[in-house]
Amino acid sequence: MLSSPDLSFSRTLPIVVFNQLGKLLEQMAQREISAALILTEAVLMRVCIPVEWQRQRFTLVVSEQFSALLVGNLEEGEQGIGSALNAKLTFNLEAIATFVYELRDLFECDSYTHQNLERYHQIIRPNDATLQSQFSLLLLEYLLTQPNQEIIAPPSPTAPTVYICQPVEDALKKQISQERLLNQVTTQIRKSLDLSVIMATAITQVREFLELDRLVIYKFEASKVKTQQYQSSIHEKNGKHSPSVLVNNQPLLEDCQNYGGYIVYEARATDAITSVLNYTERNCFRRTSQCWEKYRQGFTLAVDDVEKTYALEECLLNFLRESQVKAKLAAPIIFEDKLWGLLIAHQCDNPHQWTESEKNLLTSIAEQLAIAIHQAELMQTLTQEKQTLEQRVIERTMALRDALLAAEAANRLRSEFLATISHELLTPLTYVIGMSSTLLRWPLGELSQRQRGYLQTIHDSGEHLLEMINDILDLSQIEAGKTALNISEFSLVSVAENAVESLRKKAISEQINLNLDLQIDPRRDRFTADGERVEQILWNLLTNAIKFTPESGSVTLRLWVEDDTAIFQVEDTGIGIPEEQLPLIFDKFQQLDTPYRRRYEGTGLGLALTKQLVELHRGRIEVESTVSIGSIFTVWIPTQVTRVVNGELGVRS
């Protein structure tokens, strides 16, 4: 009988016997000793352990009245139920203290557990003789009840025949069912972008398949936001409770600011199982623990018995007891190297030994949920960017509209200002032109040559100024939409001849050959438009060509009709227009030379007014020019132009 406190033995034991001895120690501590620490190798699940500890099994009891250590090492290659261990049972205080000391060193990164083991290391005392005797009796009773040899019963002729491949078939069926379930979850993720629907559906299906008491999704906390909660009511189906699904829509990934987390989704088998929705482990879960790092690396935590695994973590163990958790399986939800949360399975009635099949399924589901979260995160980001872009477009559009309105207002004010000034200038200018013309024809007395020259200069300058003012007034009225065409039927040839003859004298004075090339059938010499405006178009183009054509050059006006379009073309042998200035020639106040080196007179309104008049007739004008061949201006105007009022086409009068 083992009665001495320092008595110990070592021998090779089957793992079944080793486990039974461990249970005897646990029963002894639970029945006879208060405040005893009972530890098994399960506590090592949450830490990274050295190689020499990975094959080690133990049961440790530490208290002030009774302490014992059962430790064994699996032989090389041994893992199953029939495995054997090199076991040792000892009550030696020094050996127990050394083991606790080594165990404490494994939890260096977990200050709470480290300090807890240090406290128990200090309370180790010699065993109470009575307690030692009681354990010895328990051990003796166990040894006496064990058979000396294994008894193998012969098969009974009446026993049912078991199909030898049945276990394989069952395993294949279960694997197919798992793959089908995983495919359903994957399909749901592809079909829906609603994260709440995906989460709720997935955990409901998985809970039912694995026959779990409870399945939850635990989200590591960032800045917690209160959101509306949804709970589907429990309803009767085929006489049984269908599982209730509680969903709490929380925001997606944020920068983690606080320790702990909370449960955001939950599926329960029955209403009798306590709900843990929104429960938090803020004060229990420490991110400095090695378990946190293992989760980040994709480790799936399988806890068969929470009482054994969390024996050193009183806070977390109390939380699990309150939540009716006897066993749990936790798989990390990770995407983009970020640990978002955990998918946790709970068994609430009894401890549960998790199988590899269950672990693999929960891990696969957690990976699919990570894809769903990532998908929802991308969609949320895309939606936010779209909203931001739409807002920017709206703001930019409003800014452009305001700028356009301001530009239109400024342009309108400028046109009105020019029109007002021009009108005000017309009256005194009319007097200047009239008086100078009268004096040039004055019959009384004689004017000296110098006086006549002065009067002629005044008269010509007034005429030139009147011409520019009229151009400004015309352009202002067209831009203001106040111009109406006086539609009538006239001869194209007559208009062209009049324009050429009105500039013949000017061309001769400039020593320029002015030619008219009529390529029109007399039967098609009828044109419906504003005759005065068409003649003004031709006059402006011919004037511009004469201005920029040197002596001995030539200017030609061609006229022909194609289909229902009259084409006017003015060609000169002048200085031409540089290619970079071609897009600017129809802009207002644009000239070939700079304002500081003016060689050609004019305000730069002639071509701008011409383009406006052409477009008012629903026509178009183009220019071809180089500095070597001169310029060619071509105008296309429909032969039938309807009435235009305020810049809009109306009914022909």
| Segment 473-528, tens digit of pLDDT | 777 777 666 677 888 889 989 999 999 999 999 899 999 999 999 998 887 788 88
Q: What is the pLDDT of residue 413?
A: 78
**575 has a pLDDT exceeding 70:** yes
**227 has a pLDDT exceeding 50:** no
Q: What does the pLDDT average to over 392-400?
A: 91
In a domain, 387, yes or no: no
CA-based torsion, 127, 133, 138, 141: positive or negative:
positive
Token representation of residue 430: 């009319």
Q: What is the pLDDT of residue 643?
A: 57
**Higher pLDDT among residues 59 and 337, named by residue:** 59
Taking CA atoms, 52 is separated from 74, 86, 90, 99, 352, in Å, by: 11, 14, 20, 13, 27
Q: Rounded to an integer, what distance in angstroms lies between the CA atom of residue 396 and that of residue 405?
A: 14
325, exposed or middle or buried, with CB in 10 Å at 0-12, 13-18, 19+?
buried
Q: What is the pLDDT of residue 343?
A: 92
Residues 590, 533 within the same domain: yes
Which of 447, 573, 428, 448 lies closest to 512, judged by CA?
573
| Segment 345-382, tens digit of pLDDT | 999 999 998 988 888 888 888 888 888 888 888 888 88
Percent helix, strand and coil across the chain, each to the nearest 5: 45, 20, 35
Residues 234, 89 within the same domain: no
Distance of CA 457 to the CA centre of its chain: 74
Q: What is the pLDDT of residue 197?
A: 83
Q: What is the pLDDT of residue 576?
A: 83
Q: What is the CATH classification number for the domain harbouring 207?
A: 3.30.450.40
- The three-state secondary structure class of 516 is strand
Q: What is the pLDDT of residue 32?
A: 72
List 59's β-bridge partners, or say none.
40, 70
| Segment 312-334, tens digit of pLDDT | 888 888 888 888 899 999 999 98
In a domain, 169, yes or no: no
Q: What is the pLDDT of residue 516?
A: 93
In a domain, 356, yes or no: yes
The residue from 334, 362, 382 where one domain ends is 382
CA contacts within 13 A on the Cβ side of 136 = 17
Residues 119, 181 within the same domain: no
**Higher pLDDT among residues 412 and 370, named by residue:** 370
| Percent over 90 (pLDDT), the chain | 14
The residue from 382, 416, 445 where one domain ends is 382
The residue from 144, 162, 182 where one domain ends is 144
Which of 496, 530, 486, 494 lies closest to 516, judged by CA?
496
Count of CB atoms situated within 10 Å of the CB of 651: 7
**162 has a pLDDT exceeding 50:** no
Residues 350, 262 within the same domain: yes
- Of 14-28, 71-85, 407-421, the range with the lowest mean pLDDT is 71-85
Q: What does the pLDDT average to over 425-448?
A: 75
Computed over every residue of the chain, the mean pLDDT equals 77
Q: What is the CATH classification number for the domain harbouring 567?
A: 3.30.565.10
In a domain, 597, yes or no: yes
Count of CB atoms situated within 10 Å of the CB of 286: 19
Q: What is the pLDDT of residue 126?
A: 85
CB distance 636 to 619 below 8 Å: yes
**Higher pLDDT among residues 494 and 431, named by residue:** 494
Q: What is the residue range of 511's domain? A: 483-649
Q: What does the pLDDT average to over 543-565?
A: 90
R_g over Cα of the chain: 52
List 329's β-bridge partners, or say none.
302, 345
Residues 189, 122 within the same domain: no
Residues 95, 178 within the same domain: no
Q: What is the pLDDT of residue 500?
A: 92
In a domain, 469, yes or no: no
Domain count, the chain: 3
| Segment 617-644, tens digit of pLDDT | 889 988 887 766 788 899 999 988 775 5
Residues 510, 586 within the same domain: yes
Q: What is the pLDDT of residue 228?
A: 33
Residues 359, 237 within the same domain: yes
Q: What is the pLDDT of residue 594?
A: 45
Q: What is the pLDDT of residue 105?
A: 83
In a domain, 539, yes or no: yes
Residues 24, 120 within the same domain: yes
Residues 49, 180 within the same domain: no
In a domain, 320, yes or no: yes
In a domain, 154, yes or no: no
Q: What is the pLDDT of residue 80?
A: 53
Residues 116, 180 within the same domain: no
Q: Which residues contact 317 (CB under 8 A, 6 or more apart)?
A: 306, 307, 310, 311
| Segment 277-289, tens digit of pLDDT | 887 765 666 555 5
**159 has a pLDDT exceeding 70:** no
Q: What does the pLDDT average to over 597-607?
A: 60
Which of 247, 275, 277, 282 lies closest to 261, judged by CA?
282
Residues 318, 184 within the same domain: yes
- Of 149-153, 413-417, 594-598, the range with the lowest mean pLDDT is 149-153
**246 has a pLDDT exceeding 60:** no
Q: What global pTM score does this model have?
A: 0.51
| Percent over 70 (pLDDT), the chain | 77
